[in-house]
Each structure stands twice: as structure tokens, then as C-alpha cells.
A = this chain, B = another copy of it.
């Protein structure tokens, strides 16, 4: 930066100003500086800038996994807005394990992010303490709580699952099953679905749980298991993800079972392929782009003014009725 200044015949600070706010230097000085930058191939050092200004322009985003499309698409929407505002993203994967999250949070905080996005509302006491003393805006996503660390953007998993149970019951289903991936929020939905479906007078809900992530193969296997081991002989299957639902459709077709008359399915997530399965998949839609943009908006609002109008943003959900139930 000093070299650039020397070449342009100004001091180093003037170069700094030209870069951070061009309106602070005269037009001709600006031009000379820009020329000098081009000639020298100068690349600013954001590290030094961050240290001096105490603003890193970094946002850290922690998700369970980047290979899960629901988190990836949320990140995409989130980062698009943040990038447009000059912030860069540091992405971290926390798995579904609180201890792992703790280590990731610690290393990310050492980079002094200006804000942090966290997935979920359940964190270890150590994480809460670190986050609180970091004193930066924090947004927790994919769930809502009355007691966020700072603010949260999401929806009620209990309400979504109960709505699915109501939907199933009102469409005449009295028998049901649930297929669930190894994810705390999915498990909460499963429990809420079971509770509500049975409360409405449905027969006991059979459940099949997978420890890992949802997959098409898992959905096929789940239907096979339900039939072979749970005596499943018709009814609606509430899935924790559209991936499972798609697998159930494939397996049903392979077995010659009619959908929805013999096997009905409700997916979760309303992923891109849901309208194009055969038959088109009924699913609970969660607007992942909106989740990402609302999370970004919440952080930007916190940057603008310290007072929060409302720390809890419920983006809701929607049951998209198609032809599988």
C-alpha cells in the first residue's frame, strides 16, 4: 500500500481511503492511485485491515453437513445476500454431534467473524458461553425457540408434523407409519406426528429409524421392512425427507403396489424433484431460500441497530398436496 502511494505521489493512508471510500479523495488523486494499483498488481491484505478495524467482514456459517441439499441451498441463499453486502463466508460442518460443534465454534470464533449462523437451537453450555462472550450477532436457524442466544429463524417442527397428521387424518387415513433419519429435528417431528395421529384416533404408528442421512435406498428398504416386520398393509407413511419418500415410491412401484391407494406417502422438504416423481409427491414445504435470506436479513438488522424488533422469525411451512396421499 505504501508502494502504491509512492507511485501515485500520495501517502499510504490516502491509498487506504481511496480503497475504502473513493469519495474521500479527489478525482484526480483517485485516478492516479487506481493506475498505480493496476501497475503494481496490488492486492489488499484483508487480514491486516480486519485487525486494525476490528471488523473482519467474515461471517461464519455452521451447518450439520454441506452435502445435505437442504442446508446447502439455505447456505447458497444466505451467502448470496451476505456477499452482496461485502461479507465472506466461512463454512463449518458440525455433524449432528454437540461436542464436534463445540470445537468448530471455537476455531471459527478465533477468526473473529462479524456474525455467526448456527443450525439448530440445541447447543452445549460451553458453546452458549463462548457465543455470548464473543458479543457478535448470532442467528440460529431451522428451528424456533423463545430463548435464542440472540435471534432465530425457522419454523416449529412440532407444528409441521402435527399438521401432517391432521392432513393424513382428514384425508381418511387411519393407519400410518413414519420413516426417520438420524437427526434430532426429524426425531421430534416423528414424535409429534405419532402423538397427533394417535390422538386423532389413528391406529398405533409403526416407525422405522435410520441412524444416518435420508436416501432413496433407505426409503426402499424402509417400505420392505414395514411390510415384512411391521405387518404394514396399507396406510400413509410420513417421511423425514423427500429422499425417503421417493424410495418408497420406487419400491411400491417395483412391488406393484398402487400409490396412494395401497401405499400413501408424505414427504418432507418439497425438494426440486417432488413435483416430478410418479405420482407427484405430497410434501411439507419449507422454503429454504427464504430461510437463508431471512437469516441474512436478521443479521443485517442487528448490524444496523443493536435493538431487535423481534428476535424470533417463524417462516412457517406448507403442506403441498399432490397425488401420493
Residues of A within 8 A of B (CB): 41, 43-48, 50-51, 56, 58, 65-67, 69, 72-73, 75-76, 79, 88-93, 106-112, 129-130, 133-134, 215-217, 220, 243, 247, 250, 253-254, 272-273, 275-278
B47 touches A51 (CB 8 A): yes
Bound together, the chains give a CA A157 to CA B109 distance in angstroms of: 41
Nearest CB of B to A132, in Å: 10
Residues of B within 8 A of A216 (CB): 272-273, 276-277
5 further A-B contacts with Cβ under 8 Å, apart from A45-B110, A216-B276, are A47-B50, A47-B111, A47-B112, A215-B273, A253-B253
Bound together, the chains give a CA A94 to CA B309 distance in angstroms of: 35
Bound together, the chains give a CA A47 to CA B110 distance in angstroms of: 8
Bound together, the chains give a CA A254 to CA B276 distance in angstroms of: 11
Bound together, the chains give a CA A41 to CA B129 distance in angstroms of: 9
Bound together, the chains give a CA A243 to CA B271 distance in angstroms of: 13
Residues of B within 8 A of A72 (CB): 66-67, 72
B272 touches A254 (CB 8 A): no
Residues of B within 8 A of A73 (CB): 67
A46 touches B276 (CB 8 A): no
A56 touches B47 (CB 8 A): yes
Contact of A217 among B92, B133, B276 (CB under 8 A): B276
Residues of B within 8 A of A41 (CB): 129-130, 133
Bound together, the chains give a CA A254 to CA B277 distance in angstroms of: 10
B106 touches A43 (CB 8 A): yes
A111 touches B88 (CB 8 A): yes
- If A130-B43, A134-B43, A217-B276 touch, whether A93 touches B79 (CB-CB below 8 Å) is yes
Bound together, the chains give a CA A112 to CA B273 distance in angstroms of: 40
Nearest CB of B to A71, in Å: 9
A41, closest chain B residue (CB) = B133
Bound together, the chains give a CA A253 to CA B279 distance in angstroms of: 11
Q: Which 7 A-B pairs have the closest CB atoms?
A: A216-B273, A217-B276, A46-B110, A91-B91, A67-B72, A216-B276, A254-B278
8 pairs of residues in contact across A and B, judged by CB atoms under 8 Å: A41-B129, A46-B107, A46-B112, A47-B112, A58-B111, A66-B72, A69-B69, A254-B278
Nearest CB of B to A62, in Å: 12
A43 touches B109 (CB 8 A): yes
